[in-house]
Chains A and B, each alone.
Chain A
Amino acid sequence: MEVPILKQGKFLIATIQAALSDADLENLRRGLVQQVVRFRSLGVIVDVTSMDVMDSFASRTLREIAHMIRLRGAETVIVGIQPEVALAMVQLGLTLEDVATALDLEEGLDYLNTKFKTLD
Protein backbone atom coordinates (compact mmCIF):
# COMPACT_ATOMS: atom_id res chain seq x y z
CA MET A 1 0.00 0.00 0.00
CA GLU A 2 1.72 3.13 -1.24
CA VAL A 3 1.27 6.36 0.66
CA PRO A 4 0.46 9.31 -1.62
CA ILE A 5 2.66 12.36 -1.12
CA LEU A 6 1.08 15.65 -2.07
CA LYS A 7 3.02 18.81 -2.76
CA GLN A 8 1.42 21.94 -1.44
CA GLY A 9 3.62 24.97 -1.92
CA LYS A 10 6.70 24.64 0.23
CA PHE A 11 5.20 21.72 2.12
CA LEU A 12 4.64 18.03 1.48
CA ILE A 13 1.66 16.15 2.85
CA ALA A 14 1.72 12.37 3.19
CA THR A 15 -1.61 10.84 4.13
CA ILE A 16 -1.53 7.29 5.38
CA GLN A 17 -4.74 5.64 4.23
CA ALA A 18 -4.48 2.03 5.25
CA ALA A 19 -2.60 -0.36 7.47
CA LEU A 20 1.06 -0.23 6.54
CA SER A 21 3.55 -3.05 6.58
CA ASP A 22 7.16 -2.43 7.58
CA ALA A 23 8.12 -2.33 3.91
CA ASP A 24 5.43 0.30 3.21
CA LEU A 25 6.77 2.45 6.04
CA GLU A 26 10.29 2.16 4.70
CA ASN A 27 9.05 3.17 1.25
CA LEU A 28 7.32 6.17 2.79
CA ARG A 29 10.56 7.19 4.48
CA ARG A 30 12.50 6.88 1.25
CA GLY A 31 9.82 8.67 -0.77
CA LEU A 32 9.51 11.58 1.62
CA VAL A 33 13.22 12.20 1.91
CA GLN A 34 13.59 12.09 -1.89
CA GLN A 35 10.71 14.51 -2.41
CA VAL A 36 11.97 16.94 0.21
CA VAL A 37 15.23 17.11 -1.67
CA ARG A 38 13.57 17.30 -5.07
CA PHE A 39 11.12 20.07 -4.19
CA ARG A 40 13.31 21.83 -1.64
CA SER A 41 10.42 21.57 0.77
CA LEU A 42 10.50 23.39 4.09
CA GLY A 43 7.99 21.23 5.89
CA VAL A 44 6.41 17.80 5.86
CA ILE A 45 3.13 16.68 7.35
CA VAL A 46 2.49 13.00 7.92
CA ASP A 47 -1.20 12.40 8.53
CA VAL A 48 -1.69 9.22 10.56
CA THR A 49 -5.42 9.67 11.25
CA SER A 50 -6.22 6.33 9.60
CA MET A 51 -3.51 4.39 11.42
CA ASP A 52 -5.17 2.08 13.89
CA VAL A 53 -1.96 0.64 15.33
CA MET A 54 1.31 2.44 15.98
CA ASP A 55 3.77 -0.16 17.14
CA SER A 56 7.46 0.14 17.92
CA PHE A 57 8.54 -0.13 14.29
CA ALA A 58 6.04 2.45 13.04
CA SER A 59 6.93 5.02 15.66
CA ARG A 60 10.63 4.44 15.17
CA THR A 61 10.25 4.93 11.42
CA LEU A 62 8.26 8.15 11.90
CA ARG A 63 10.95 9.41 14.26
CA GLU A 64 13.62 8.57 11.70
CA ILE A 65 11.69 10.37 8.97
CA ALA A 66 11.49 13.50 11.11
CA HIS A 67 15.16 13.37 12.02
CA MET A 68 16.33 12.79 8.46
CA ILE A 69 14.18 15.63 7.20
CA ARG A 70 15.48 17.90 9.95
CA LEU A 71 18.99 17.21 8.74
CA ARG A 72 17.84 18.62 5.42
CA GLY A 73 16.78 21.76 7.27
CA ALA A 74 13.07 21.04 7.00
CA GLU A 75 10.48 20.34 9.67
CA THR A 76 8.10 17.39 10.10
CA VAL A 77 4.77 17.35 11.89
CA ILE A 78 2.89 14.15 12.67
CA VAL A 79 -0.84 14.82 12.74
CA GLY A 80 -3.93 12.86 13.69
CA ILE A 81 -2.72 10.32 16.24
CA GLN A 82 -5.97 8.81 17.49
CA PRO A 83 -6.64 8.86 21.26
CA GLU A 84 -6.65 5.07 21.62
CA VAL A 85 -3.48 4.83 19.54
CA ALA A 86 -1.86 7.41 21.83
CA LEU A 87 -2.91 5.35 24.86
CA ALA A 88 -1.38 2.19 23.39
CA MET A 89 1.82 4.05 22.55
CA VAL A 90 2.17 5.36 26.09
CA GLN A 91 1.58 1.92 27.60
CA LEU A 92 4.08 0.41 25.23
CA GLY A 93 6.59 3.05 26.27
CA LEU A 94 6.84 4.64 22.82
CA THR A 95 7.47 8.32 22.36
CA LEU A 96 8.03 10.42 19.31
CA GLU A 97 10.60 12.31 21.37
CA ASP A 98 11.29 15.69 19.83
CA VAL A 99 9.04 15.23 16.81
CA ALA A 100 6.32 17.86 16.44
CA THR A 101 2.74 16.62 16.58
CA ALA A 102 -0.57 18.34 15.96
CA LEU A 103 -4.23 17.48 16.30
CA ASP A 104 -5.06 17.39 12.61
CA LEU A 105 -3.98 18.51 9.17
CA GLU A 106 -5.22 22.06 9.67
CA GLU A 107 -3.32 22.50 12.93
CA GLY A 108 -0.27 20.93 11.35
CA LEU A 109 -0.35 23.44 8.50
CA ASP A 110 -0.84 26.28 11.00
CA TYR A 111 2.21 25.07 12.89
CA LEU A 112 4.40 25.02 9.78
CA ASN A 113 3.07 28.34 8.48
CA THR A 114 3.77 30.05 11.79
CA LYS A 115 7.17 28.49 12.02
CA PHE A 116 8.28 29.60 8.59
CA LYS A 117 6.62 33.00 8.78
CA THR A 118 8.80 33.93 11.74
CA LEU A 119 11.85 33.16 9.61
CA ASP A 120 11.02 35.87 7.09
Chain B
Amino acid sequence: MSAGEIRVAISSDQDIVGARQRGRSLAAELGFSAADATLIATAISELARNIVSYARRGEIKLQRVQNSVRHGIMVIAWDDGPGIPDVRQALRDGFSTSGSLGLGLPGVRRLMDEFEITSQPGRGTTVTVKKWRS
Protein backbone atom coordinates (compact mmCIF):
# COMPACT_ATOMS: atom_id res chain seq x y z
CA MET B 1 0.00 0.00 0.00
CA SER B 2 1.38 3.36 -0.89
CA ALA B 3 0.72 5.61 2.03
CA GLY B 4 1.78 8.90 0.56
CA GLU B 5 0.48 10.94 -2.25
CA ILE B 6 1.38 10.69 -5.89
CA ARG B 7 2.10 13.90 -7.73
CA VAL B 8 2.12 14.04 -11.48
CA ALA B 9 3.34 17.18 -13.22
CA ILE B 10 1.11 18.03 -16.16
CA SER B 11 2.35 19.98 -19.15
CA SER B 12 1.75 17.82 -22.23
CA ASP B 13 -0.66 15.35 -23.75
CA GLN B 14 1.72 12.55 -22.72
CA ASP B 15 1.32 13.64 -19.11
CA ILE B 16 -2.45 13.25 -19.43
CA VAL B 17 -1.94 9.58 -20.30
CA GLY B 18 0.58 9.20 -17.46
CA ALA B 19 -1.71 10.78 -14.87
CA ARG B 20 -4.69 8.62 -15.69
CA GLN B 21 -2.56 5.47 -15.68
CA ARG B 22 -1.20 6.35 -12.23
CA GLY B 23 -4.75 7.03 -11.10
CA ARG B 24 -5.99 3.72 -12.40
CA SER B 25 -3.28 1.76 -10.65
CA LEU B 26 -3.83 3.59 -7.37
CA ALA B 27 -7.58 2.93 -7.66
CA ALA B 28 -6.91 -0.77 -8.25
CA GLU B 29 -4.52 -0.81 -5.31
CA LEU B 30 -7.23 0.72 -3.12
CA GLY B 31 -9.65 -2.03 -4.10
CA PHE B 32 -11.88 -0.21 -6.56
CA SER B 33 -13.62 -2.35 -9.16
CA ALA B 34 -12.40 -2.22 -12.74
CA ALA B 35 -15.50 -0.22 -13.66
CA ASP B 36 -14.88 2.37 -10.94
CA ALA B 37 -11.19 2.53 -11.83
CA THR B 38 -12.22 3.39 -15.39
CA LEU B 39 -14.53 6.18 -14.16
CA ILE B 40 -11.70 7.55 -12.01
CA ALA B 41 -9.14 7.33 -14.83
CA THR B 42 -11.54 9.08 -17.19
CA ALA B 43 -12.15 11.89 -14.70
CA ILE B 44 -8.39 12.33 -14.25
CA SER B 45 -7.95 12.44 -18.01
CA GLU B 46 -10.47 15.28 -18.31
CA LEU B 47 -9.01 17.23 -15.40
CA ALA B 48 -5.47 16.88 -16.74
CA ARG B 49 -6.70 17.90 -20.18
CA ASN B 50 -8.22 21.06 -18.74
CA ILE B 51 -4.84 21.91 -17.22
CA VAL B 52 -3.03 21.47 -20.54
CA SER B 53 -5.71 23.32 -22.53
CA TYR B 54 -6.26 26.29 -20.24
CA ALA B 55 -3.25 26.68 -18.01
CA ARG B 56 -0.54 24.83 -19.99
CA ARG B 57 0.96 23.41 -16.85
CA GLY B 58 -0.08 22.26 -13.44
CA GLU B 59 -0.22 19.20 -11.29
CA ILE B 60 -2.44 16.24 -10.49
CA LYS B 61 -2.22 14.90 -6.97
CA LEU B 62 -3.60 11.48 -6.16
CA GLN B 63 -4.10 10.13 -2.69
CA ARG B 64 -6.05 7.77 -0.51
CA VAL B 65 -8.70 9.37 1.67
CA GLN B 66 -10.62 8.07 4.60
CA ASN B 67 -13.53 9.17 6.73
CA SER B 68 -15.13 7.39 9.67
CA VAL B 69 -16.91 4.82 7.56
CA ARG B 70 -15.11 4.32 4.29
CA HIS B 71 -12.11 5.05 2.22
CA GLY B 72 -11.56 6.16 -1.29
CA ILE B 73 -9.43 8.16 -3.64
CA MET B 74 -8.95 11.90 -3.86
CA VAL B 75 -7.74 13.66 -6.98
CA ILE B 76 -6.60 17.26 -6.84
CA ALA B 77 -6.02 19.05 -10.13
CA TRP B 78 -4.13 22.25 -9.58
CA ASP B 79 -2.90 24.98 -11.88
CA ASP B 80 -1.90 28.62 -11.61
CA GLY B 81 -3.28 29.49 -15.01
CA PRO B 82 -5.80 32.16 -15.99
CA GLY B 83 -8.61 30.76 -13.84
CA ILE B 84 -12.25 30.38 -14.76
CA PRO B 85 -14.14 33.69 -14.84
CA ASP B 86 -17.55 32.13 -14.32
CA VAL B 87 -17.37 28.86 -12.40
CA ARG B 88 -21.14 28.48 -12.27
CA GLN B 89 -21.34 28.65 -16.02
CA ALA B 90 -18.51 26.15 -16.37
CA LEU B 91 -20.46 23.74 -14.19
CA ARG B 92 -23.57 24.00 -16.30
CA ASP B 93 -24.19 21.07 -18.58
CA GLY B 94 -23.77 21.83 -22.23
CA PHE B 95 -21.01 24.29 -21.60
CA SER B 96 -18.43 22.73 -23.91
CA THR B 97 -18.92 19.14 -22.84
CA SER B 98 -18.46 18.13 -26.46
CA GLY B 99 -14.74 18.29 -25.93
CA SER B 100 -14.22 21.03 -28.44
CA LEU B 101 -13.04 23.38 -25.75
CA GLY B 102 -12.28 20.93 -23.00
CA LEU B 103 -13.66 21.77 -19.57
CA GLY B 104 -16.40 19.12 -19.30
CA LEU B 105 -16.59 19.75 -15.57
CA PRO B 106 -20.24 18.64 -15.19
CA GLY B 107 -19.20 15.30 -16.65
CA VAL B 108 -16.31 14.94 -14.22
CA ARG B 109 -18.73 15.73 -11.44
CA ARG B 110 -20.98 12.87 -12.55
CA LEU B 111 -18.08 10.43 -12.74
CA MET B 112 -17.04 11.08 -9.14
CA ASP B 113 -18.86 11.20 -5.77
CA GLU B 114 -17.64 14.55 -4.51
CA PHE B 115 -16.60 17.59 -6.46
CA GLU B 116 -15.21 20.92 -5.37
CA ILE B 117 -13.76 23.75 -7.38
CA THR B 118 -12.07 26.98 -6.50
CA SER B 119 -10.92 29.34 -9.18
CA GLN B 120 -9.64 32.87 -9.17
CA PRO B 121 -9.14 34.81 -12.35
CA GLY B 122 -5.42 35.37 -12.83
CA ARG B 123 -4.53 33.03 -9.97
CA GLY B 124 -5.51 29.59 -11.12
CA THR B 125 -7.91 26.75 -10.55
CA THR B 126 -8.04 23.85 -8.14
CA VAL B 127 -10.51 21.02 -8.65
CA THR B 128 -10.79 18.40 -5.91
CA VAL B 129 -12.77 15.23 -6.54
CA LYS B 130 -13.30 12.12 -4.48
CA LYS B 131 -14.68 8.71 -5.10
CA TRP B 132 -15.57 6.40 -2.25
CA ARG B 133 -15.33 2.66 -2.28
CA SER B 134 -18.78 1.20 -2.41
Point out residues on A near B: beta carbons under 8 Å.
19-23, 52-57, 59-60, 82-85, 87-89, 91-94
Contact of B97 among A54, A85, A93 (CB under 8 A): A93
Given contacts A53-B20, A56-B49, contact A92 B100 (CB under 8 A): no
B contact residues around A19 at 8 Å (CB): 17, 20-21
A contact residues around B49 at 8 Å (CB): 55-57
**B111 touching A92, Cβ below 8 Å:** yes
**A88 touching B111, Cβ below 8 Å:** yes
Q: How far is the CA of A54 from the CA of B49 in the complex (A)?
A: 13
Given contacts A21-B13, A92-B46, contact A59 B20 (CB under 8 A): no
Point out residues on B near A: beta carbons under 8 Å.
13-14, 16-17, 20-21, 24, 34-35, 38-39, 41-42, 45-46, 49, 93, 97-100, 102, 104, 106-108, 110-111
Name the distance in Å between A76's Cβ and chain B's nearest Cβ.
18
Contact of B35 among A53, A56, A57, A84 (CB under 8 A): A84
Contact of A53 among B38, B99, B102, B104 (CB under 8 A): B38
Q: Which 8 A-B pairs have the closest CB atoms?
A: A56-B99, A92-B107, A22-B13, A84-B38, A55-B45, A84-B35, A60-B99, A88-B42
Pull 11 A–B residue pairs with CB atoms less than 8 Å apart, ordered by A.
Answer: A19-B20, A52-B41, A53-B20, A53-B24, A55-B99, A56-B46, A57-B99, A88-B39, A91-B107, A92-B104, A93-B93
B contact residues around A57 at 8 Å (CB): 49, 99
Q: How far is the CA of A93 from the CA of B96 in the complex (A)?
A: 11
The secondary structure that dominates the A interface is helix
A contact residues around B98 at 8 Å (CB): 56, 60
**A92 touching B110, Cβ below 8 Å:** yes
Q: How far is the CA of A91 from the CA of B107 in the complex (A)?
A: 6
Q: How far is the CA of A21 from the CA of B38 in the complex (A)?
A: 17
Name the distance in Å between B23's Cβ and chain A's nearest Cβ.
10
Given contacts A52-B24, A60-B100, A87-B38, contact A94 B107 (CB under 8 A): yes
Name the distance in Å between B127's Cβ and chain A's nearest Cβ.
15
